[in-house]
């Protein structure tokens, strides 16, 4: 009956107004795989209890172990996955009672909090995470939450230094949580994080660009150097595949997002594989060109039959055999002409022009695609 009477006496005059403020000590880790962040915060709550008024203008600090003797709010973090109260060397609680009945209750908490992330523009993404504070059992008729100084109630984000992110902006909001059991007070801290892309430029983008440029070296190597050109093409393809696999290790395996880094690595892989295919085509047309030259150099064998008048029956047989040979010769020449006309469509007069055009076409196309890529992901 003691705690129930204490709560009833405290709330006779209406809902208790609880002011809150936060100090963000650190954000230890931001995980894209689990889509959460781990933060250590100092949570301070203030409310007024008329039963604790005492004469004078001083304040009294109470041992944290006496918290069970006082009424305290049942504040919790709804999006928290794991959290704990620090207890070295004692539980990190602070209870200070002022002469007008105001109670200051401070805690040091480390919590892993969920943050829904949109990784479409990764690593040029901007994530907006929240830190929510709600009342577990007391609804809006019992308690009311408010920020003590508005946006100035949150400190530490301005000076926070993160490994991959920088805090772009933050603001506070007052809301309410609606559940089946009623409406509950809620305070929300919104903060935007922008990823530092310089690390990814040095680790992923620059190596992939250099691999694409390396694949173009084969355009200046003679087509007769089959091992050299094949080695460059296969090596760059395998290295690019390894780079693509390494870029995915820090990201969720099952993710519906097509990320910006995946698009760029796919573009680079396409250009590298295209350079390998270019040599295959150039080599094929070179061999075809040599084969056609060899065919034209061979002397054509005419099929002319010398007929000598003999007896009637042998003459008839010779004429028949001669007509058959002429028909076979006409048929072979017709097939050869048809094949020649069909092959002429796919024949390149000078196969060395393929490399000469590739030296210009590949860099121009890659430069143009890069302009479109960076404009889209940086400006939109």
289 burial via Cβ count (<10 Å: 0-12, 13-18, 19+): middle
228-245 burial: b if 16+ Cβ within 10 Å, else e: ebeebbeebbebbeebbe
Residue whose tokens read 């559940």: 179
| pLDDT (0 to 100) of residue 180 | 93
Order of strands across the sheet that contains 165-179: 75-76, 126-135, 182-195, 165-179
| pLDDT (0 to 100) of residue 102 | 94
226-247 and 260-297 helices, crossing angle to 10°: 160
| pLDDT (0 to 100) of residue 2 | 47
Look at the pTM and tell me if it is higher than 0.85: no
C-alpha distances (whole Å) from 251 to each of 119, 246, 353 are 9, 10, 44
Question: Which parts of the chain have pLDDT scores under 70?
Answer: 1-13, 250, 252-256, 289-333, 335-349
The closest of 33, 358, 59 to 215, measured between CA atoms, is 358
| pLDDT (0 to 100) of residue 330 | 57
How many C-alpha atoms does 216 have within 13 Å on its Cβ side?
Answer: 19
Q: Could you check whether the bond before residue 123 is cis, i.e. omega within 30 degrees of 0?
A: yes
């Amino acid at each position: 009956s003691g705690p129930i009477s204490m709560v009833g006496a405290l709330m006779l005059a209406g809902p208790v107004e609880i002011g809150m403020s936060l100090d963000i000590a650190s954000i230890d880790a931001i995980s894209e795989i689990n889509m959460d962040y781990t933060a250590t915060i100092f949570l301070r709550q203030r409310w007024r209890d008329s039963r604790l008024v005492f004469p004078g203008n001083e304040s009294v600090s109470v041992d944290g172990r006496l918290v069970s003797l006082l009424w305290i709010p049942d504040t919790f973090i709804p999006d928290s996955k794991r959290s704990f109260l620090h207890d070295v060397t004692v539980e990190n609680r602070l209870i200070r009672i002022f002469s007008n009945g105001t109670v200051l209750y401070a805690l040091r908490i480390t919590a892993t909090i969920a943050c829904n992330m949109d990784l479409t523009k990764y690593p040029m993404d901007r994530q907006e995470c929240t830190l929510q504070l709600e009342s577990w059992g007391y609804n809006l008729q019992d308690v009311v939450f408010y920020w003590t100084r508005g946006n100035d109630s949150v400190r530490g984000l301005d000076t926070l230094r993160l490994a991959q992110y920088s805090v772009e902006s933050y603001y506070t909001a007052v809301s309410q949580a609606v559940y089946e059991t009623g409406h509950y007070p809620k305070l929300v801290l919104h903060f935007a994080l922008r990823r530092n892309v310089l690390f990814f430029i040095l680790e992923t983008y620059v190596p992939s660009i250099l691999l694409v440029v390396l694949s173009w070296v084969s355009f200046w190597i003679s087509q007769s150097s089959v091992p050299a050109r094949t080695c460059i093409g296969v090596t760059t393809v395998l290295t690019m595949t390894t780079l693509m696999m390494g870029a995915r290790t820090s990201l969720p395996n099952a993710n519906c997002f097509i990320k910006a880094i995946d698009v760029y690595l796919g573009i680079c892989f396409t250009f590298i594989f295209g350079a390998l295919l270019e040599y295959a085509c150039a080599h094929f047309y070179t061999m075809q060109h040599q084969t056609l030259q060899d065919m034209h150099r061979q002397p054509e064998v005419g099929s002319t039959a010398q007929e000598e008048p003999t007896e009637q029956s042998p003459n008839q047989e010779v004429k028949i055999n001669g007509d058959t040979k002429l028909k076979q010769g006409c048929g072979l020449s017709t097939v050869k002409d048809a094949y020649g006309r069909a092959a002429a469509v796919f024949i390149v007069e000078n196969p060395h022009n393929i490399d000469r055009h590739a030296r210009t076409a590949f860099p121009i196309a890659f430069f143009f695609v890069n302009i479109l890529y960076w404009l889209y992901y940086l400006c939109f």
